[in-house]
Amino acid sequence: MTYTIKKGDTLTSIAKKHNTTVDALASANNIKNKNLIYAGNTLEIPDGSSGGGAVSGSSGVWNTVYEGASNGKDSGYRQSNDVQDAHKELENWQDRRPGAYDSAYSDQLDALISAATGRAFSYDPLRDPLYRSYRDSYRQGGRLAMQDAMGMAASLTGGMGNSYAQSVGQQAYGAYMQDLAQVIPELYEAAYGRFIDEGDQLEDQIQLLSSLDDAQWDRYNDMLENYLEEGSFLLDKYETLSDADYERFLDYMELLRASV
């Protein structure tokens, strides 16, 4: 047998309605928090329970009517104002149920973690702006050195260009290019240092956002704990008032029967 939870129901009220116990309902439905159930969910009623008994509900626990008899005529019990007020407090509490946890930092954390774990170092001088600046400067210096060397070689031969002058010029240019090649290891080390620094910055950002996310999670858990404690208090208050109110009704009914 199944039962669909109505707004305002409690495990206690459902157990009373079906002649079973709260523990039996919780066990049959794997309910860990007996003070927290949700309207619209379906409960399995343990075997041996029934819908009969002294309590009959017209529209859930909040509108429960207890049927009795007085002098041969039907009479009914309705909750007192105090019980109805306690029910309203509990109902308002249920309406304030917190939503699921939503981190304000999860998207940023995911992006940073993805960036950090996807990093790999490689160095291509041609893509290094600093290398290109060195290259242009060395090329310019090499061309000037080549022109000077060729000019000097030509002056030694009476101003006539020859293969010797070209060879001397090429040697001067090549010397500059060799100097440029010696700069690459330094640029590699500088690029690797920047790579390490960027990784450290990503790690710092991840740690910062993680601490902020942890703090937000702790605040959410504190709020949820306070909410559940309030619900437990309001539920106890309602059940205590309801039970006492119904007991007074039963006592009154006994008095009426005794007077017949």
Residue 56 has what pLDDT? 30
184 CB burial (10 A radius; 0-12, 13-18, 19+): middle
Predicted confidence (pLDDT) per residue in 105-121, tens digit:
999 999 999 999 889 99
Q: Is the pLDDT of residue 54 over 50?
A: no
Residues near 197 by beta carbon (within 8 Å), at least 6 away in sequence: none
Predicted confidence (pLDDT) per residue in 239-250, tens digit:
899 888 888 888
Predicted confidence (pLDDT) per residue in 74-90, tens digit:
346 788 899 999 999 99
Among 228, 243, 227, smallest CA distance to 61 is for: 243
Residue 171 has what pLDDT? 81
Q: What is the DSSP string of 88-149?
A: HHHHHHHHT-------SSHHHHHHHHHHHHT------GGG-HHHHHHHHHHHHHHHHHHHHH
What's the token pair of residue 215? 């703090």
Predicted confidence (pLDDT) per residue in 10-35, tens digit:
888 788 788 787 888 888 998 887 77
Q: What is the DSSP string of 215-233?
A: HHHHHHHHHHHHHHHHHHH
